[in-house]
């Protein structure tokens, strides 16, 4: 295991894997770790699988792929792709899907990745640095209304317009912002009312990261994909870390946990429920004390009930 792997503490590690193995297939099943990260969940899953069990993991971060390639186990395969591609697996071929939506500590703590306002670095924030546009590139041309919408919708920041206006003004005066420290300072100078214990740039950094990686859209596609690939009796386990993600997961499970009647066709058979909600779990007090980054985590679980189409 690399030093970077050792610096990341997996949230709800045992709870998530315990829930995953409640699937009908148990240790003989085929599982998907949709967000490999630094491999905490994957390693524990492999330790509990039988010789017949299989694990496939997804990640779009090259550092995560490098870490996964250190695992020498014929039951394991890693795929360099976003987890929105989950639905490309054969229908009904998977007994459990685990999604840990948190950004890993090595990503946050690597200045060159540009995820954190605590470190000086380029304003990048891409999960996959081989594809797409960095935050700095986007801010070089985005208009005030576009920036406002992103900060407001993905950061739930009430000063979104003021920050967007300041960003465009800075670009017109001195050129676009390209470093994390410059962005953090601009937000601090713009946001006069601060939440206790929170850096004023927290919501803006979150918003830009979610936007540039299309995180919510990726999540919605991955959840839909899980319905297609999960076998009856299979488990869906999702760990989210902020309200936007958790709301999507909660609504998705609720939507598919009830029969739907088409009122336009009163004599038609109702669409059967496809998931059975299995509740939610929060980190214990001891886990939060040992890993403060776990404090906002919510794990929601569901069981596949209907044969995939």
How many domains in the chain? Answer: 2
Backbone φ/ψ region at 246: left (φ over 0), alpha (ψ -120 to 50), beta = alpha
Domain that holds residue 22: 3-106+215-304
Phi then psi dihedrals of residue 44, to 5 deg? -70, -40
Query: Are 157 and 286 contained in the same domain?
Result: no
Average the pLDDT over 67-79 and give the result.
97
Considering the entire predicted model, what is its pTM?
A: 0.90
Domain containing 170 — which CATH number? 1.10.150.170
pLDDT tens, 19-58? Answer: 999 999 999 999 999 999 999 999 999 999 999 999 999 9
Query: pLDDT grade, residue 266 (50/70/90)?
Result: low
Q: Does the residue 201 lie in any domain? A: yes
pLDDT score, position 269: 65
Whether 252 and 183 map to the same domain: the answer is no
Does 260 lie in the same domain as 229? yes
Classify the phi-psi angles of 69: left when phi > 0, otherwise alpha if psi is within -120 to 50, otherwise beta: alpha
Widest Cα–Cα separation across the chain = 66
Q: Would you say residue 1 has pLDDT above 50?
A: no
pLDDT of residue 240: 97
- Is the pLDDT at 3 greater than 70? The verdict is no
Judge if 190 and 58 occupy the same domain.
no
Whole-Å CA distances, 249 to 114, 130, 178, 179, 221: 27, 28, 33, 33, 11
Q: Is residue 118 part of a domain?
A: no
Single out the residue in 157, 179, 212 at which a domain terminates.
212
One DSSP character per residue, 194-251 reads --TTS-TTHHHHHHHHHHHTTHHHHHHHHHHHHHHHEEEEEEEEEEE-SHHHHHHHHH
End-of-domain residue from the set 154, 179, 212:
212
Round to whole Å and give the CA distance between 22 and 31.
12
pLDDT digits (tens, 9 = 90+) for 99-154: 999 888 778 778 888 888 888 999 999 999 999 999 999 999 999 999 999 999 99
The closest of 297, 278, 171 to 235, measured between CA atoms, is 278
196 pLDDT more than 90: no
How far CA 113 is from CA of 39, 136, 249, 289, in Å, comes to 19, 12, 27, 27
| 124: three-class secondary structure by DSSP | coil
């Amino acid at each position: 295991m690399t030093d970077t792997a050792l610096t990341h503490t997996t949230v709800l590690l045992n709870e998530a894997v315990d829930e995953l193995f409640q699937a009908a297939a148990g240790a003989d099943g085929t599982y998907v770790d949709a967000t490999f990260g630094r491999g905490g969940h994957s390693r524990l899953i492999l330790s509990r699988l039988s010789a017949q069990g299989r694990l496939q993991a997804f990640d779009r971060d090259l550092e995560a792929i490098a870490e996964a390639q250190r695992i020498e186990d014929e039951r394991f395969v890693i795929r360099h792709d976003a987890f929105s591609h989950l639905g490309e697996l054969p229908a009904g071929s998977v007994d459990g899907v685990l999604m840990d939506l948190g950004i890993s500590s090595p990503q946050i703590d690597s200045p060159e990745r540009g995820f954190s306002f605590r470190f000086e670095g380029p304003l990048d924030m891409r999960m996959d640095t081989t594809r797409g546009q960095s935050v700095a590139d986007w801010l070089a041309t985005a208009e005030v209304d576009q920036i406002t919408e992103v900060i407001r919708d993905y950061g739930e920041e009430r000063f979104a317009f003021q920050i967007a206006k300041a960003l465009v003004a800075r670009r017109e005066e001195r050129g676009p912002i390209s470093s994390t420290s410059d962005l953090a300072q601009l937000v601090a100078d713009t946001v006069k009312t601060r939440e206790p214990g929170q850096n004023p740039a927290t919501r803006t950094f979150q918003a830009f990261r979610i936007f540039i990686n299309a995180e919510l859209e990726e999540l919605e596609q991955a959840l839909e994909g899980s319905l297609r690939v999960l076998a009856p009796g299979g488990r869906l386990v999702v760990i989210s870390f902020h309200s936007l993600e958790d709301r999507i997961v909660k609504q998705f499970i609720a939507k598919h946990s009830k029969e739907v009647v088409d009122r336009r066709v009163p004599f038609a058979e109702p669409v059967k429920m496809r998931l059975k909600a299995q509740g939610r779990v929060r980190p214990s007090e001891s886990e939060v004390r040992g890993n403060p980054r776990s404090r906002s985590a919510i794990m929601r679980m569901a069981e596949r009930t209907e044969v995939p189409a």
